[in-house]
Every structure is written in structure tokens, then in C-alpha cells.
Amino acid sequence: MSRSLYIPEGYAPKLDLRETQHAIKYIKDVFQQALSFALTLDRVTAPLIVEKGSGINDDLNGVERKVDFDIKEINGKEAEVVQSLAKWKRMALYRYGYQPGEGIYTDMNAIRRDDDTDNLHSIFVDQWDWEKVITRSERTKDYLRDTVRSIVKAIVYTKRKVQLRYPVLKQEIVESPLFITSEDLAVKYPDLTPRERENAICEDHGTVFIMQIGGKMSNGERHDGRAPDYDDWSLNGDLFIWDETLQRALEVSSMGIRVDAQALASQLAEAGAEDRSRFPFHRMIAEDTLPLTIGGGIGQSRLCMLLLEKAHIGEVQASVWPEEMVQQCKAAGITLL
């Protein structure tokens, strides 16, 4: 079922179809170079599919169905289309021998068949997934904040380059993010839902990083779901930027310092998912075999629609949409690719 579709009053795309396609490539070229430089990352090739039962695929909130199929050539062995590469990246850093201060990024394409579609959500997901080796002394909130600031600077740099090429694009992005925990956000806006809190704080401050996502707050609720076996819920967060076109907070990145053995055991127990500890990936964390890392995903289509001031993610990516949404967009002058 789709979420509600929002049509901005008087919306008209500022770039035509061909200009949009050119601009998408330009954004991706500029941003990934800026991100690579800011965080010292190498580009690597990543999988679209992984073996079923390997424990490598992202379980997201633990309820989303994966796209799976059997492989004829391997006696019917089953594979899954990835939902994200949060775990694969950490394994890759171990296999490739990366050291503290070094990292990787990749173009990640995924299918999330159970996502509800709207202006910002598609069943097709494209991200720059990145991961970096850190030391134990860097598993701190200060290191997390510094990394967020570097990513925001790369986004702002890209925005300025895009505006030089396409002066019709006018929205500015606040370069200094506000950092606030999900707990403090709930205290600040006790009568609002988590989504409403995100919009309220982002409208006031422009660029916001909401920290500590996944665990229960003092009110017994979770700000948002997060799998228990990749982010440390005390050292993670979501990056939001105010979108003038949609008049709402747009989440461009989910990221965090990854679990160590202690955080993994605690979070698996809280989530009732101790059975995952049998997987090789989880055993390697418990045995301190895998490196300590920080990582995340930055939405490619999300960033493109923000920088190009688009009203719908389908204006910058090709996907499948409910027919009703297609017709509503067409009537409003929103051209879906």
C-alpha cells in the first residue's frame, strides 16, 4: 500500500528531462569524488545478490520480505537480492586487509519489496554504501559527529557545483548540522510522532543529525527501527536536510559506528534475535575477528531529488509505481522516469 502522495502547490520542474539526466550524472560524479576524498575511501565492486542463510543480507527491521530465487547451476541453492550492504562491507574490509583510517564505498542497488511508495520511497533503492576501519578509541560520539560534518560538507560542495551549472536551482543547504538524540527530541516535542519531530526540528535548523536510533527511549518507544546486528544503537543516527520543495525533512543518510562484541550481544538479546549469533558474520564479531568500523548509506536518488529540487523520487530514478500514483503525478506535471 502506498503512503500518501504530496503534490506541492504550483510545482513545475526546474530542469527538463534531458537536463535532469545530465544533472543526475554530474551530481553522482561530483559527490562520490568529494565523499571519497573527505573520508579516505576506495571505490569497490559490490554484490547485487548474496547466498540465502549466510547472515550477510540486511534484515532491516526484521520483517521485510527479501526477493529470493533458486540457482539452477548450483543444484537449486537459493540466493537473495540485497536489501543493503551493511554487513557485506565490513566483511570486505576484513578480506581486503584495510587498516584504521582506510575505507571503501560502492554503488549499492537493492530491492525492498515491502516498502510503501510515496514522494521519497521506492521499492528500488540506490545508495552510496560506505564503510571505514576505525580504532577502539574512535568508537565515540565525537568521532561520529566529525564524520557527519565531513559528509555534510561534501553535500554542500556538490550543491554549489550544481548551482553553478544550473543557476535556476536556488535552495541552499545549512552546512553546520544540529546534533540531537532521539531521547532529547522526544522530550522537546512530546506530543508529536517521530516523523513530525523530524520535520519540526529540521524546519527550524535546516540540517539535523538525530542520534541513537534503534533502542527504546524512556517512554518505551523506539524513534525508528534498526537491525540489531550492524549499528551500535548508542553510536548511530540519521541525517536530515530540509527540503524546500516538499516542505519536509528529507533523510539522506543512515549511518553509525558498528557493533562490537558487547553491543552485538546486548542488542541481539533486546531484539530477541539471539539465533543470529550462529551465522559466520556474527561469530566473527563476537570473536573480535572483524575490524571495528563506521559506515552508512547515502541515498543517491534522494540526494539527486534534493539538489535538483524535484517533488518525487521517480523524477530521478526509474522504478515501478502504483497506477494511481502515476496518474496523479501526470496530472500535476510530475514526470516519472
Catalytic positions are 58, 112, 127, 238, 251, 254
CA distance 130 to 213: 19
For the chain, the helix, strand and coil percentages under 3-state DSSP, each to the nearest 5 = 40, 25, 40
Distances (CA, A) of 47 to 15, 50, 92, 110: 33, 7, 11, 10
Owner of C-alpha cell 569524488: 33
For the chain, first and last CA: distance in Å? 21
Task: Give the relative orientation of helices 300-307 and 17-39 as an angle to the nearest 10 degrees.
Answer: 120
> Burial letters for 163-198: b for 16+ Cβ neighbours within 10 Å, e otherwise?
eeebeebeeebeeebebbbbbebbeebeeeebeebb
